[in-house]
Structure 1
Amino acid sequence: MDYKAYLGHHCLLYFFVAVLLDTAGLILFFIGIFAPLSSWDFYVISGPIVIFFSLVFWIFWYLGNLEVPVEEVFD
C-alpha cells in the first residue's frame, strides 16, 4: 500500500514529529499516573503540555497537504 494516499504527499516530517510528540506526551502522562507521590505532578502536567505542542505540527501537516486548484486561487 502506498502510505502517501493516507498521509498526504507533502509535509511527512510534520506528521512524524506530531506523532512522536503525542506518543511522548502520553508516555509522560502515564508515568505520572504511576509515579510516586513526590514527583507525579511534573509528569502529569508535562505530558498534556507536550501533547498540546503537537497540535502545532498537526496544523502544519494539515495545512501543508491542502490542495487548492489554480482556478480558485486567481478568482
Structure 2
Amino acid sequence: MEYSAYVGRCLLFFSLAILMDVIGLILFFVGVAAPLSFWDFFVFSGSVLIFLSLVFWIFWYLGNLEVPMEDFLPK
C-alpha cells in the first residue's frame, strides 16, 4: 500500500509530529496520574512537546501544498 495517498509527500515531518505528540501525551498523563513528587516536570514537558510538534505539523502541511505551474511563469 502506498503511504502517500494517506500521508502526503512528507513522511518524515508527519512521523516526527506523530512521535512528538505520542511522547508528549504519555509524559503528560504520567504526570497527571502518577503519584510523584516531581509530577510538574512530566506535565510541563509533555505540554511543551505537544506544542513543539506544531512546528512539524506546519512543515508537513507546507510540504503538501500544491502550487500550479502557471504561478511560477512570468506574465
Q: TM-score normalised to the size of structure 1?
A: 0.89
Q: Please, which runs of 5 or more residues in structure 1 have no aligned partner?
A: none
Tell me the residue number matched to 1:63. Answer: 62
User: 1:5 aligned to 2:5?
Assistant: yes
Tell me the residue number matched to 1:41. Answer: 40
Q: Please, which runs of 5 or more residues in structure 2 have no aligned partner?
A: none
Q: Would you say how many aligned residue pairs link Structure 1 and Structure 2?
A: 74
Regions of 4+ moved over 4 Å: none
2:2 aligned partner, one-letter code: D
Matched residues, percent identical? 65
Q: Tell me the C-alpha RMSD between the 2 structures.
A: 1.3
Cα distance, 1:72 vs structure 2: 2.1
Q: TM-score normalised to the size of structure 2?
A: 0.89
